Amino acid sequence: MRTPRLYTPQPLPLGQTIELEAAAGHYVGKVLRMQEKQEVILFNDTGTQVSAHISNISKKIVRVLISAQLKAPKASLLYTHLGQVMSRGERMDYAIQKATELGINEITPLYSSRCEVKLDHQRQIKRLAHWQQIAISACEQSGRIDVPLIHTPQALSTWLENTSAEVKLVLHPHETRPLEAQKAPLSCALLVGPEGGFTLEEVEQAHAEGYTGLSLGPRILRTETAPIAALTLLQYVWGDLSPRLTEIQDK
Ligand code: SAH
Domains of the chain, by residue range, sit at 5-70, 79-250
Cβ pair 70, 112 in contact under 8 A: no
pTM of the shown model: 0.93
CATH superfamily placement of domain 79-250 = SPOUT methyltransferase, trefoil knot domain (3.40.1280.10)
150 vs 205: CA distance, rounded Å:
24
Query: Which residues does a 6 A CB cutoff place in the pocket of ligand 1?
Result: 171-173, 192-193, 195-198, 215-217, 219-221, 223, 226
CB atoms within 10 A of CB 58: 9
DSSP bridge partners of 187 = 79
Q: What is the pLDDT of residues 161-207, one digit of tens each?
A: 999 999 999 999 887 777 877 788 999 999 999 999 999 999 999 99
pLDDT, position 245: 62
Task: Look at ligand 1, atom 3, and give the residue with the nearest C-alpha.
Answer: 197
Span from the CA of 130 to the centroid of ligand 1 (angstroms): 26
Mean pLDDT, residues 123-139 taken together: 96
Residue from 220, 224, 232, 233 whose mutation best tests the ligand 1 pocket (most atoms within 8 A of CB): 220
CA atoms within 13 A on the CB side of 131: 27
Span from the CA of 173 to the centroid of ligand 1 (angstroms): 4
pLDDT, position 181: 72
Q: What is the pLDDT of residues 44-66, one digit of tens each?
A: 999 999 999 999 999 889 999 99
CA atoms within 13 A on the CB side of 204: 3
At position 217, the amino acid (one-letter code) is: G
242 vs 77: CA distance, rounded Å:
10
Span from the CA of 141 to the centroid of ligand 1 (angstroms): 29
Mean pLDDT, residues 108-119 taken together: 96
Span from the CA of 115 to the centroid of ligand 1 (angstroms): 13
Angle value at C-alpha 165, between 160 and 170, nearest 5 degrees: 50
Span from the CA of 188 to the centroid of ligand 1 (angstroms): 19
- What is the crossing angle of helices 121-142 and 91-101, to 10°? 40
Residue from 112, 171, 219, 231 whose mutation best tests the ligand 1 pocket (most atoms within 8 A of CB): 171
pLDDT, position 59: 82
Q: Which atom of ligand 1 is nearest to the CA of 216?
A: 23
pLDDT, position 248: 53
Dihedrals phi, psi of 177, to nearest 5 degrees: -85, 120
* Average of per-residue pLDDT values in the chain: 93
Would the pLDDT of 75 be above 80?
yes
SS3 state at 101: helix
Least confident of 95-104, 151-160, 177-186, 218-227: 177-186
Span from the CA of 223 to the centroid of ligand 1 (angstroms): 7
Q: Which atom of ligand 1 is nearest to the CA of 198?
A: 13
Single out the residue of 57, 62, 70, 135 nearest to residue 96, CA to CA: 135
DSSP string, 130-160: HHHHHHHHHHHHHT--SPPEEPPPEEHHHHH
Is residue 74 very low, low, confident or very high in pLDDT (cuts 50, 70, 90)?
confident
Least confident of 3-12, 68-77, 136-145, 184-193: 68-77
CATH superfamily placement of domain 5-70 = Hypothetical PUA domain-like; domain 1 (2.40.240.20)
Dihedrals phi, psi of 161, to nearest 5 degrees: -75, -30
